Structure 1
Amino acid sequence: MPRLQIRGAELHYESLGHGPPLLFIHGLGSSTRDWEAQLAYFSPRFHVVTFDLRGHGRSDKPPGPYSIAGFAADTAELIRWLSLGPTHVVGLSMGGMIAFQLAISAPELVQSLAIVNSGPEFILRTLRARLQIVQRKLIVRLLGMRQMGRVLGKRLFPKPEQAELQRLFIDRWAENDPRAYLDALRALIGWTVADHLDAIHCPTLVITSDQDYTPIAVKETYAARMPQAELSIIRDARHMLPLERPDAFNQVLMEFLLKHRPLLRNLPESCEG
């Protein structure tokens, strides 16, 4: 089981294939396992790397506090240790936030970005948003991670034909360490790089599901502020897009990567302008 000692924690990672480096960053409460369909699809043409963030999966779960900047620092060290940079970076949900932060704090390590059902900030601007976070904390503390997985699983995979996906999601969610999960959840609150979007000059693909938590208009707005960003909408899909609709997701991402790969060879090897 490959592991690296990074900033005081051992992080589990997986590496497969040969070619241009392609790094996938999972979301809150997830792990490398949710990228299985992407490992199989992209590894014939790319050197694909996935890893478990600290507090997740098979990585160490040291006490918090955690932060998006800290997760990005872990990611930067992983890229350096594995000599991946500059690499294509794909981030889902919290992983997209980490990808944004990485592109700001270590642009020389990022060749392109794919931001999936995510955004450049997590600021609780409404009472409803604050109550949703309080609800999550209470469910985890009082009822446990499996019940949290049941609540989310019904929202994310509501169709009868998705029953097996829902079961898989709940089983994996139940394996999360409650303390580490809550530490990671707190890392999101108040984080923002929204004022720095114009500094991200590498090609960026913003992928959104039409039924994601946040409206398409939110992604359109922030994508318009990025010099080389484009938006792709996948219909009849929810938040866990790479798991729910892997074929559609993989096709959109592959088209983006192949379109920009020749261009990237002629650019400075970083996200810097």
Structure 2
Amino acid sequence: MQVTVNGIDTRYVLDDESGGPWLTFVHQLGGDLSVWDQLAGHFRHQYTVMRYDVRGHGSTAVSPNPFSIADLAADLNTLLDALGATNTHLVGLSMGGMIAQRFALDRPSRVASLTLADTASRTPQDARPMWEQRAAMVRRDGIAAIADATLDRWLTADFRHRHPEAVEQICDVLLRTSSEGYAMACDALREFDAHEALRDLRVRTLAVAGRHDTGTPPAATKALADAIGGAQFEMLDAAHLAPVEEAHRFAALLETFLHPRV
């Protein structure tokens, strides 16, 4: 399904047969909504599940202008308005986790709960040149130039060996990502910093890290959790795409978090 969001033709998928509370998933840089297929199938019987492609990813159009993470959070806000959602449980992975943080900070009343996977609360100054270099490489040489290194960061060698079909799908999505869309997102990630603002966030939060994540080390996700009062922190035996590599354990964590014992 497609809808125009802030001037951008945006793809989304809505599983709304349950009539339950809204549960929204936001994907990683170089991904698309398909990264959530397994989890969407798990939760669609209890929740109204929404997934979408971020600007310049999947089947969503490339932005004609530079944008920030705040702009991407505004896209999510407009999309929820268009679909008639008052509020939602929000799950973000990597870049999606940064979008989710910014959305929760700007519109806390619309967030029933916040789950942040393999993500950080800011891009340190010393890491900003890396984003500039990656954007330049992709603009010059295309996504294929970074594909192997990306998959090495995203998934452990053991998972890649045992699940070649899953790796092939994830790689295909990455390679089909618009080079300019990817590079523009790198530019936005370079400037992201929500860390101090998170100290005032009053939204129930679950933060999940992959023990073997070299792209976003677990310490960065733990620092994010520590900044949010009362946030729960969990570690999974995975690399950067923990919700894929440890899908069953991630689903169990999320289900327990969404249904806290009184």
Asked if these proteins are the same fold (TM beyond 0.5), I'd say yes
- Give distance in 2, aligned partners of 1:132 and 1:171: 24
With over 3 angstroms needed to count, the CA separation of the structure-2 counterparts of 1:9 and 1:22, relative to structure 1, is same
- Offset from partner CA, 1:86-122 (integer Å, 9 cap, x none): 2100000011001110111111211110010112212
Contact 1:122 1:189 in 2 (8 A): yes
SS in 2 for 1:224: helix
| In 2: Cα distance, 1:140 partner to 1:186 partner | 12
Shift of 1:220: 2.6
Post-superposition offset of 1:243: 1.8
- CA 1:198–1:155: 2 relative to 1, 3 Å: closer
> Equivalents in 2 of 1:107, 1:76: separation in Å?
11
SS of residue matched to 2:260: helix
Distance 1:77 1:155 in 2: 32
| Percent identity of equivalent pairs | 29
More off after superposition, 226-235 vs 141-150: 141-150
Residue in 1 that maps onto 2:222: 220
Corresponding residue SS for 1:206:
strand
User: What residue is the counterpart of 2:74 in the other structure?
Assistant: 73
- Report the Cα offset of residue 76 of structure 1: 0.8
Q: Answer whether contact 1:23 1:90 (CA < 8 A) is retained.
A: yes
1:146 touches 1:171 (CA, 8 Å); kept in 2? no
2:15: which partner in 1? 16
The Cα offsets for residues 65-102 of structure 1, whole Å up to 9 and x where unpaired, read as: 02100000000111122122221000000110011101
Structure 2 matches for 1:62-211, cutoff 5 A?
Answer: 62-123=63-124, 125-126=125-126, 129-130=127-128, 132-157=130-155, 158-159=157-158, 160-211=161-212
Q: Tell me the CA shift for residue 134 of structure 1.
A: 4.7
Deviation at 1:142, TM superposition (A): 4.0
Work out whether residues 104 and 111 of structure 2, in 8 Å CA contact, stay in contact via their aligned partners in 1: yes
- Give how far 1:138 is off: 4.7
Q: CA RMSD in A?
A: 1.8
- The equivalent residue for 2:4 is 5
Q: Which amino acid aligns with 1:78?
A: L
The CA distance in 1 between the partners of 2:114 and 2:35, in whole Å, is: 19
Following superposition, the deviation at residue 135 of structure 1 comes to: 4.6
The residue identity in structure 2 corresponding to 1:9 is I
Give the stretch that moved more between structures: 214-223 or 14-23: 214-223
* Matched pairs, number: 256
Instruction: Decide whether the 8 Å contact of 1:154 with 1:166 is kept in 2.
Output: no
Separation (CA, whole Å) in 2 of partners of 1:70 and 1:150: 30
Unpaired runs of 5+ in structure 2?
Answer: none
Contact 2:22 2:47 in 1 (8 A): yes
1:231 is aligned, of 230, 233, 257, to: 233
Q: Secondary structure at the match of 1:22?
A: strand
User: What is the DSSP-based 3-state SS (H/G/I as helix, E as strand, rest coil) of the residue aligned with 1:5?
Assistant: strand
TM-score normalized with structure 2 length:
0.91
Residue 31 (str. 1) matches residue 32 (str. 2): yes
Query: 1:64 touches 1:180 (CA, 8 Å); kept in 2?
Result: no
In structure 2, C-alpha distance between the alignment counterparts of 1:106 and 1:142, rounded to whole Å: 37
Mapped contact 2:121–2:220 kept (Cα < 8 A): no
CA distance in 2, matches of 1:202, 1:258: 15
Deviation at 1:181, TM superposition (A): 0.9
Partner of 1:52: 53
